[in-house]
Amino acid sequence: MSATAMIRAKKISSYGLALCAMVVILIPLFVLATVSLQDPAAGPNPLRLPDSFHWSNYSDAIEKGRLLLYFRNSMTVLVLTTSITLLASVLAGYALRHGKPWKGDLIFTFFLMGLILPGFAGTIQSFLLLRELSLLNTHIGLSIVQTSGGMALPIFLYLQFFKTLPLEIEEAAVIDGCSPIKLFWKIVFPLTLPVTSTCVIIIALNSWNDFFSPLVYLPSPDMRTLPTGLMAFRMQYSTQWQQLFAAAVLIAAPFTLLYVFIQRYIIKGLVGGAVKG
């Protein structure tokens, strides 16, 4: 085989492989979209496009599934968790950067357990603790739990970032008489924007998709977030695939839309976090 023919064969097999992967990934998503638009009165048919679009599946799902309520709950938790986690981890990362090295490592190892140990190992104890503090069944309580289990990676990312920051900037500010807190907010924090946006993506996505903690710490039906609310919806209408799928499309929609527009940053954020971790 000539060299050009070989390069060509390699290109073709590469495209072939990529195509196969895409088909396997896309088929379930395609089925999700088509069945969500099919007539709820008939049986679902994954192999056929809908004859006419039954958008009413969506409005029915929103109404029966109480999706607006769950959306608001999820949003509240997402905003709370993201802001608490960010604040706690940026401050801790900065402190660890300037603390004594061995102490910093020791404390960091302690936080690292948050990545390795299964959070559900302490579930009942946390449940009782939240109850004692009257935080059970509250969104702030859930946010605190999500924060405690999700800080390890942001702290690590901030710590790594601060290590690359030249000390001269901060030293100059201190010499000029800047207070530590002012130095942090006015000079250091604005520089963390790239790490902060990575952290926001990781924390927000984890919070939005979290299924286990709302299942345990928000027992009241009115407090449910989208994942647990959707699970309850399925238990109730287990044979109504069309409406279930409409609800599923709606819960996937916000991050999917974001993904379409800023996928490069989302991928970079999620992968970068894992690679550096």
In the region spanning residues 133 to 162, those forming contacts with other proteins, defined by CB under 8 A, are 144-145, 147-149, 151, 155
For position 107 contacting other proteins by CB under 8 A, the verdict is yes
Instruction: Compute, in degrees rounded to 10, the torsion defined by CA atoms 193, 210, 232, 62.
Output: 10
Least distance to other proteins from the beta carbon of 4, Å?
A: 15
Pick the piece of the chain touching other proteins (CB under 8 A) from 61-69, 75-83, 95-103, 192-200: 95-103
CA–CA distance, 37 with 34 (Å, rounded to integer): 5
Least distance to other proteins from the beta carbon of 124, Å?
A: 5
Residue where the block lists tokens 């608001």 = 72
69, 75, 91, 200: which one binds other proteins (CB under 8 A): 91
CA–CA distance, 14 with 33 (Å, rounded to integer): 28
CA–CA distance, 95 with 216 (Å, rounded to integer): 33
Q: Which is nearer to other proteins, 66 or 234 (CB)?
A: 234
For position 187 contacting other proteins by CB under 8 A, the verdict is no
For position 223 contacting other proteins by CB under 8 A, the verdict is no
For position 79 contacting other proteins by CB under 8 A, the verdict is no
Pick the piece of the chain touching other proteins (CB under 8 A) from 54-62, 75-83, 189-197, 245-253: 245-253
For position 180 contacting other proteins by CB under 8 A, the verdict is yes
- C-alpha dist (Å) from residue 112 to 37, 148, 151, 153: 45, 11, 9, 8
- C-alpha dist (Å) from residue 144 to 28, 80, 151, 156: 35, 9, 11, 19
For position 124 contacting other proteins by CB under 8 A, the verdict is yes
For position 171 contacting other proteins by CB under 8 A, the verdict is yes
Residues 15-74, interacting with other proteins (CB under 8 A): 15, 17-18, 21-22, 24-29, 31-32, 35, 43-47
Q: Which amino acid would we find at residue 61? A: A
9, 49, 106, 167: which one binds other proteins (CB under 8 A): 167
Residue where the block lists tokens 């998503």 = 29
Pick the piece of the chain touching other proteins (CB under 8 A) from 55-63, 64-72, 191-199, 243-251: 243-251
CA–CA distance, 265 with 277 (Å, rounded to integer): 18
- CA 14 vs. chain centroid, Å, equals 32
